[in-house]
Amino acid sequence: MPFEVTILGNNSAIPAHGRHPTSQVVQIHEHFFLVDCGEGTQMQLAKYKIRKNKFDHIFISHLHGDHYFGLIGLITSYHLMHRERPLHVHGPKGLLDIINLQLAVSNTTLYYELIFHEVKSELVNVLLETDEYSISSFPVKHRIPTHGFLFKEKIGLRKINPDKISELNFPFQIIAELKKGNDCEWEGKLLKSNEWTLPPVAPHSYAFCADTVYHEELKQYIAGCDVIYHEATFMEESSERAIITFHSTARQAAAMGKAIGVKKLLIGHFSAKYDNLLPLLAEAKEIFSETELAIEGQVFSI
Ligand SMILES: [Zn+2]
Ligand SMILES: [Zn+2]
């Protein structure tokens, strides 16, 4: 079952050097979620052949323009496309007022229902939960209220033991129970789940840490994550600027990845002052070798 993140935008503040403001697509199994929606997100979706109709939930981390200036465009496109399914937008207080003002001055009544969920940035909130996954938000430390998002798979069903497949001639309901871990009786025989099935694939998790200054408290929210995205707006030579602007350096992002012990760290939200990103990657890799640049168009498996 796929669990992947596709990078649509990796630049901070302004589009530059062919890079776009922040946006990512997270796919958990058959479900697609949009995380932040900077300017140009629709064009990036088209470029990477991701149909915008796949999204029912959009998650916005904070109200700096480089994270949501593409949202009204996408909302309007859905309207013009006569979308019928409701659209859920999860974002900070104030976002709904902005959307409503933009719709009101253009005299637009949406064709579909937009359901807004206010995210309280200072808290941990479960935003969406199903049998397969949960999506929650957690506080980060930035110049305005900001939260990251944690995507977690849940433990799936046990897998049929491939050595037993040729003997597996029971009704579907019995197989379903065995996959749930339940022993069953069938035609007077006791069928033990742990003989007929193997443990499920371990669940994975991904954290999008939004815009943040280096913040020790983050560790408690994203401990145990397989992959994290942590911003690396600057290099260490600009560490004072990073503090003033509530951003992080590549070295600090790497220190976070190392402290958590993630399998992979993605760095992004690069300052427009950097045309070449390789020095940022090199700086991070000095601390944590399992670092990759969140390059637009790349798909990372979680
Ligand atoms: Zn930003
Ligand atoms: Zn910001």
Instruction: State the maximum Cα–Cα separation within the chain, in Å, rounded to a whole number.
Output: 73
Q: Are residues 31 and 50 in the same domain?
A: yes
User: How many angstroms separate the alpha carbon of residue 144 from the centre of ligand 2?
Assistant: 7
What does the alpha-carbon distance between residue 95 and residue 97 come to, in Å, rounded to a whole number? 5
Q: Are residues 93 and 168 in the same domain?
A: no
Per-residue confidence (pLDDT) for residue 47, from 0 to 100: 98
Q: Within a 13 Å sphere around the CA of 157, how many CA atoms are in the beta-carbon half?
A: 14
Q: Are residues 126 and 12 in the same domain?
A: yes
**At which of 148, 180, 198 does a domain end?**
198
β-pairing, 227-231 vs 205-208, is parallel
Q: Are residues 116 and 236 in the same domain?
A: yes
Given a contact cutoff of 8 angstroms between Cβ atoms, the answer to whether 160 and 197 are in contact is yes
**At which of 198, 227, 257 does a domain end?**
198
Among the bound ligands, the one closest to the CA of 245: 2
Q: Are residues 144 and 125 in the same domain?
A: yes
Query: pTM of the predicted model, to two decimals?
Result: 0.92
**At which of 139, 174, 198 does a domain end?**
198
Specify burial of residue 272 (Cβ count, 10 A radius: 0-12, 13-18, 19+). middle
Q: Are residues 273 and 292 in the same domain?
A: yes
Structure token digits, residue 8:
């649509």
Q: Are residues 104 and 149 in the same domain?
A: yes
Q: Are residues 39 and 105 in the same domain?
A: yes
Q: Tens-digit pLDDT profile for the chain (302 aa)?
A: 899 999 999 999 999 999 999 999 999 999 999 999 999 999 999 999 999 999 999 999 999 999 999 999 999 999 999 999 999 999 999 999 999 999 999 999 999 999 999 999 999 999 999 999 999 999 999 999 999 999 999 998 899 999 988 888 888 899 999 999 999 999 899 999 999 999 998 999 999 999 999 999 999 999 999 999 999 999 999 999 999 999 999 999 999 999 999 999 999 999 999 999 999 999 999 999 999 999 999 999 99
Residues within 5 A (CB) of ion ligand 1: 12, 64, 66, 211
Selected catalytic residue, list 66, 131, 211, 226: 66
Neighbours of 200 (CB within 10 A): 14
Q: Are residues 16 and 150 in the same domain?
A: yes
Given a contact cutoff of 8 angstroms between Cβ atoms, the answer to whether 277 and 270 are in contact is yes
What does the alpha-carbon distance between residue 202 and residue 233 come to, in Å, rounded to a whole number? 33
Amino acid at 101: L
Among the bound ligands, the one closest to the CA of 213: 2
User: How many angstroms separate the alpha carbon of residue 185 from the centre of ligand 1?
Assistant: 58
What does the alpha-carbon distance between residue 183 and residue 196 come to, in Å, rounded to a whole number? 10
Given a contact cutoff of 8 angstroms between Cβ atoms, the answer to whether 119 and 127 are in contact is yes
Placement of tokens 């937008």 in the chain: 89
Q: Are residues 180 and 65 in the same domain?
A: no
Domain housing 59? 3-156+202-301
User: How many angstroms separate the alpha carbon of residue 131 from the centre of ligand 2?
Assistant: 33
Domain tally, the chain? 2
> Phi, psi (5° rounding) for residue 62?
-170, 175
Contacts for 113 with CB less than 8 Å, ≥ 6 apart: 86, 87
> Phi, psi (5° rounding) for residue 7?
-85, 125
Query: Which CATH number do you get for residue 227?
Result: 3.60.15.10
List, in sequence order, every beta strand (DSSP E) within the chain. 3-9, 23-28, 31-35, 55-59, 87-91, 114-118, 125-129, 133-139, 147-153, 159-160, 184-186, 189-191, 197-198, 205-208, 227-231, 264-268, 291-293, 299-301
Q: Are residues 216 and 293 in the same domain?
A: yes
State the first-to-last Cα distance of the chain, in angstroms, to the nearest integer.
11
> Nearest to residue 230, comparing CAs of 254, 259, 258?
254
Q: Are residues 185 and 206 in the same domain?
A: no
Given a contact cutoff of 8 angstroms between Cβ atoms, the answer to whether 177 and 194 are in contact is no
Per-residue confidence (pLDDT) for residue 126, from 0 to 100: 98
Is residue 211 among the annotated active site residues? Answer: no
